[in-house]
Structure 1
Amino acid sequence: MDKAFTEVALVVSQPRWVDRFSRTAHELRTVFPHAPIEHVGSTSVPGLASKDTIDVAVGVLDVTDALDEARIDVARALGFEYVPASFADDPDHAFFLRIVQDRRTDHVHVVRLGSSVWNDYLLFRDYLRATPEALDRYEQAKRDLIARYAKHRDRYVSEKQPIVEALLMDARSWRSAGGRAAQ
């Protein structure tokens, strides 16, 4: 398998990620014209090292209805590949990715607006933006995982999940104690 799909690397936070998200969101509005489109994931958190891949959450009322053939075709024409096997066990979550010159540039998560997935994406982002010690803890955990799994993307992703879950628990406590999460 091509290393672009199996290897993972972190880069320092890039100011250009905001502009890349804006361009991607603009393109996605042709696919999902009335849906909220949010920059999520590590590239949405200033100062946080990340894979150089823009993560996007698109909020829709019904994922199945939102993914008709016409929309999938428009997304495909923009360079997004629909990956139905990703999140296949979750009817409220669909996934697209874009690869340019053998490099993942965008991950697009189409999720039900108001679902726990939608709310968690926004909460996680907002918590890391507002809580420097959580940001530092998360970045260090990601660096530790990269040191062990740089050539094994799937392993990196699976090992990172419990770390994200623990931070989400902290984020929920933060929100309950008066922290704010975007709605």
Structure 2
Amino acid sequence: MSEMTLEELWELFPIQLTEHQACWTNQYREEKDHLIRILPDTVKIHHIGSTSIEGIWAKPIIDILMEADLREFEKIKHLLEHNGYTCMAQDETHIHFNKGYTPNGFAEKVFHVHLKTYGDNDELYFRDYLNGHPEIAKEYEKLKVSLWKRYEHDRDGYTESKTAFVRKYTQKAKMQFGRRY
């Protein structure tokens, strides 16, 4: 798969949305337990993304935010790569990993891990705001569903089209919650 173009990957791994599944919380907990066993105990692990928001349609991919000290990133990267994760992108302060992508498409369980530095956790504010405001969560669901087929094979376009909404409600969450995290 490493030799495939981005377009070929998007064709093999299209955006798929499904009704909220109760099993997503358990899949996150099981993967978190696994990660706790293999990672330094200083790593903070959180369930993020639409699978962490009650009652809305989502891609059946469990997003996990891990916060750690930047000096630990290479060690964490090595541990994740030796435990079934593939590094998909990396810059100075973020590393993104996937698990559950196969040459035949998605596995039964799929995970995205976002490794960031402590405090780089806007996703937690967005998650908590939507869980506390079900009417806003439903607006987000409507937006996602409206974008689904147009961007089925264009993850970047899909994500970019949601950015303004996510920023707006992340800012509202920070005003409401203060320095919660």
Q: Please say if 1:34 is aligned against 2:39.
A: no
Paired amino acid for 1:79: G
Aligned counterpart, 1:43: 51
Alpha-carbon contact 1:13-1:46 (below 8 Å) kept = yes
What's 1:15 paired with?
22
Match of 1:66 among 52, 72, 80: 72
Query: Deviation digits for residues 86-110 of structure 1, max 9, x if unmatched?
Result: xx2xx33221111244227111111
Matched, 1:52 2:53: no
1:153 counterpart residue number: 155
Alpha-carbon distance between aligned partners in 2 of 1:182 and 1:79, rounded to the nearest angstrom: 32
Residue 149 of structure 1 aligns with an amino acid whose one-letter code is Y
Percent identity between the aligned chains?
Answer: 26
Paired position in structure 2 for 1:134:
136
Distance in 1, Cα, partners of 2:73 & 2:128:
28
Question: Which ranges in structure 1 are unaligned for 5 or more consecutive residues?
Answer: none
- Change in Cα spacing, 1:4 to 1:23, as seen in structure 2 (3 Å) is farther
Structure-2 separation of matches of 1:11 and 1:146: 11
Give the CA RMSD over aligned residues.
Answer: 2.0
Residue 182 of structure 1, CA deviation: 5.1
For the 8 Å contact 1:8–1:146, the answer to whether it is kept is yes
1:121 maps to 123
Secondary structure in 2 aligned to 1:156? helix
Give the TM-score normalised by structure 2: 0.83
* Alignment length (residue pairs): 168
Residue identity in the other structure for 1:106: F
> Unaligned stretches of 5+ in structure 2?
1-7
Corresponding position of 2:3: none
> Take 1:58 and 1:169, find their aligned partners in 2: how far apart are those partners?
21
Greater strand fraction, Structure 1 or Structure 2: 2
